[in-house]
């Protein structure tokens, strides 16, 4: 065991690390977290599917789950081999427009459900949204800890896909008044939008004094 450890250390110094071992300790643990989270997300989508009533939401669920599976397989492939995956990371494309409804519409106050029979499309889409938002955060954090360049790129490229899925779900929820978007007054919005201006010139540090 000591010989194997020493040999690995020597290989890392000389750059002769086998591709499948080209992973740092933090990377291994973080990628395990990401892959476990991906399995959890797909499992949750599968369990939620039976409760979906709206065909549009069902289409979103199936499309996102299928994409998650391919992205999971790509990540597993490059993590196991340390090299380029057979299927590169794809870009998730939502099918609906990006129009948000602003303002508040009166609705019933929200509260926890008390039985399975109360599960609605609002509950399902909310759980889906929470899942992909958590996945985006986990993948972004893991990508910052990865030493293998291929795995780092795969994780980094998958973050925008999670963001796109979350955006798609938030638009769906907004359209059905599950997720409402209040706004500032026009005057306050204008003031907030103009609160920053572009930086000018090149930043220069203070001269070092001896």
Which pLDDT tens digit goes with each residue over 24-77?
Answer: 677 788 899 999 999 999 999 999 999 999 999 999 999 999 999 999 999 999
Coil/strand/helix, residue 181: strand
Q: What is the pLDDT of residue 202?
A: 82
3-state secondary structure 10-65: HHHHHCCCCHHHCCCHHHHHHHHHHHHHHHHHHHHHHHHHHHCCCHHHHHHHHHHH
Report the CATH number of the 25-100+118-179 domain: 1.20.1260.10
pLDDT higher than threshold 80 for residue 189: yes
Q: What is the pLDDT of residue 208?
A: 64
Per domain, the residue ranges of the chain are 25-100+118-179
| Entry pTM | 0.84
Which pLDDT tens digit goes with each residue over 62-117?
Answer: 999 999 999 999 999 998 998 999 999 999 999 888 888 999 888 888 899 999 99
Pick the residue with more confidence: 14 or 133?
A: 133
């Amino acid at each position: 065991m000591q010989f194997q450890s020493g040999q690995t250390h020597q290989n890392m110094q000389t750059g002769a690390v086998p591709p499948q071992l080209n992973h740092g300790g933090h990377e291994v643990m973080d990628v395990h977290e990401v892959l476990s989270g991906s399995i959890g997300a797909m499992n949750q989508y599968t369990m939620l599917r039976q409760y979906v009533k709206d065909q549009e939401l069902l289409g979103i669920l199936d499309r996102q789950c299928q994409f998650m599976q391919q992205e999971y397989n790509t990540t597993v492939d490059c993590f196991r081999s340390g090299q380029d995956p057979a299927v590169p990371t794809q870009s998730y494309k939502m099918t609906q427009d990006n129009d948000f409804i602003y303002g508040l519409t009166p609705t019933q106050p929200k509260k926890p459900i008390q039985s399975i029979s109360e599960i609605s499309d609002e509950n399902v889409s909310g759980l889906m949204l929470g899942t992909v938002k958590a996945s985006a955060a986990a993948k972004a954090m893991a990508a910052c800890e990865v030493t293998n360049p291929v795995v780092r790129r795969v994780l980094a490229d998958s973050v925008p896909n999670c963001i796109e899925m979350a955006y798609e779900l938030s638009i769906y929820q907004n359209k059905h008044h599950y997720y409402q978007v209040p706004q500032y007054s026009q005057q306050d919005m204008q003031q907030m939008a103009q609160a920053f201006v572009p930086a000018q010139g090149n930043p220069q540090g203070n001269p070092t004094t001896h």
